[in-house]
Amino acid sequence: MSTAESLSMPEVAGNEQLLSEFRQMRRQNHLPHALLLHGERGCGKKLIAKWFSMLVLCEDGEHAPCGRCKSCRLVAEDAHPDVMTAEHSGKRMGFSVETVRMIRREAAVLPNNGDMRVFLFPDSDGMSVQAQNALLKSVEEPPAHSCFVFTAESVGSLLPTLLSRMTAKTVFPVTPGECAEALLRRSFQDGEIRTAVAKFGGNIGKCIAYLTDESVRRAADDAAALSTALAQRNEYELLRLLTAAASDKEQLTRTLELLDCQLRDAAVMTLEGSFPRLGCDRAAAEALSAGLTPRRALRMHGAIREAFADLDGNVSAGLTATALCAALCDA
């Protein structure tokens, strides 16, 4: 095993410019006390947040994160006593006000090991206004030894007051080639790598989920078939697919999230002719984009958001699927 492989380092792919900017900040002692990493789901935000925690806590000031010191190793093993992750309250990506208050109290406590404590808020998109307000003061005037790191798909999901007190940085998906290499390093086979990259481009997280999780694979196939049914305005097929996906709530949610991505891809294609890959089937998104007006795309997106609200509000998956089918056909 080479020296490089024996380092405890999160396998961040691409985003080299961002990482070197952070390294520079650490050398100059200018690391932000509140950081937001944003970018599409699966592009490696949480991995970079972990790398950043390592950078903050590394004992080697010159070569941080070194991947060798005790701090780096503890962060790599998710066992560092000065790194704390805010737990979601169970609703879609939300943190409870109690969780935020608990973290505020923790943030006032001095670090166990070194100079800093890091507080991670993964998937902050669904954070309630109350929870964000409860955080405001800590982020505005953080204790000198505290660092807050948020990850979110979109900056738009955070309150401007909170956002204005953070350093926001974009995390980008890598190229399909870099993604394939990263998957090869994780011991996936050539054929399956090609299939996954064809579906999700340079989004390593989505590719891994597709290759390792049967329910994700099924959701991706269903979302592609649903896009085709929508493109053909085939109401019967739409209802059949939605009803099948509604066998359980989580599966329906997963499928609709991907369908929403397909819809965004299709909408962007009609507007700009370009293709940011969020969805899982380019051909189906292309078919959907033909004859798609911005107004219809918005109405369909609204119908999907409403379905999420229903699922959160304890409407059954079956009822949600039926109502969504009608709304999509009317859109």
Q: Which of 9, 35, 47, 58 binds Zn ion (CB under 5 A)?
A: 58
Q: Report the residue number, 77 or 330, with the smaller CB distance to Zn ion.
A: 77
Stretch that binds Zn ion, among 26-34, 61-69, 238-246, 283-291 (CB under 5 A): 61-69
Beta carbon nearer to Zn ion, 72 or 139 = 72
The answer to whether residue 66 forms part of the interface with Zn ion (CB under 5 A) is yes
Binding mask 250-269 for Zn ion (x = CB under 5 A): --------------------
- Span near Zn ion by CB under 5 A; candidates 59-67, 177-185, 307-315, 318-326: 59-67
116 binds Zn ion (CB under 5 A): no
Q: Binding residue for Zn ion (CB under 5 A) from 37, 72, 158, 263?
A: 72
Residue 83 sits in the site that holds Zn ion (CB under 5 A): no
> How far apart are CB 76 and Zn ion at their closest, in Å?
10
In what order do the strands lie in the sheet containing 83-85? 83-85, 117-121, 146-152, 34-38, 167-170
Stretches 70-78, 179-187, 232-240, 282-290: which one binds Zn ion (CB under 5 A)?
A: 70-78
Q: Which of 265, 267, 264, 255 is nearest to 325 (CA)?
A: 255
End-to-end Cα, the chain, rounded Å: 58
Q: Which is nearer to Zn ion, 58 or 179 (CB)?
A: 58
Measured CA to CA, the distance from residue 157 to residue 124 in angstroms comes to 8
Query: What burial letters (b/e) apply to 225-247, b meaning 16+ CB within 10 Å?
Result: bbbbbbbeeeeeebbebbeebbe
Q: What's the min distance (Å) between Cβ of 51 and Zn ion?
A: 11
Whole-number minimum distance, CB 112 to Zn ion, in Å?
16
In the complex, minimum distance from the CB of residue 8 to Zn ion, in angstroms, rounded to a whole number = 9
Choices 50-58, 124-132, 238-246, 322-330; region in contact with Zn ion by CB under 5 A: 50-58
The window from 41-49, 62-70, 163-171, 270-278 that contacts Zn ion (CB under 5 A) reads 62-70
* Residues lying near Zn ion in the complex (CB under 5 A): 58, 60, 66, 69, 72
